[in-house]
Amino acid sequence: MGNEQENAQLKKIIERIKALAKQKGVTIQDMLLESGAGIAFINGMHQGKIPTTFRFKQVADYFNVSVDFLLTGKEFGISDVATTQHDLLQHISDLINDFTYDEYDNLIDYIAFLKSKRDVKTKK
C-alpha cells in the first residue's frame, strides 16, 4: 500500500476498533483471538496492509456492528432510505398500497421470518 491517504484511513479504522474494544471492556489482543481475526489483523494495518473482507467481517461480528461501521464510522442501510420511523412507514405504505390480501399475508410471513432469523442470531 504506502499511500498516505490509505494509511490515514487504516489508522482511523484502528482507532474505531480500539474504541469498540474499550466500550466492550476487552483488550485488542483478546478481541483478535476471540473473533478469529488474529494478531496479524492489526499488525498488518499498522504496516499499511489492508485486511481481507473476511477478517473485517469477523471483527465486525464480534462487536455486533457492520463492516461499513468499521470502515467509515457510519452504519448504512435502512436509515439511508428513511431517517425516521414515520418516513419508513410511509415508504412501506406507498410500496404496498395495491397489494392483494395474499400479498399482505406473504409480507407478514416474511417479517416473521426476518424476526425469527434475528432472534436465532442473537441467541448465538
Which pLDDT does position 77 carry in this prediction? 59
Q: What is the pTM of this model?
A: 0.59
Domains of the chain, residue spans:
4-72, 78-123
pLDDT tens, residue by residue, 64-115: 898 888 988 877 655 555 456 667 788 788 888 888 999 989 999 998 998 8
Express each pLDDT in 104-117 by its tens digit: 899 999 989 988 88
The architecture in CATH of the region 4-72 reads Orthogonal Bundle (1.10)
Q: Mean pLDDT across the stretch 42-57?
A: 91
List alpha helices for 36-100, DSSP H. 40-46, 53-63, 67-72, 78-81, 85-96
Q: Sign (positive/negative) of CA torsion 25, 11, 55, 58?
A: positive
Flag the least confident range among 15-19, 54-58, 59-63, 96-100: 96-100
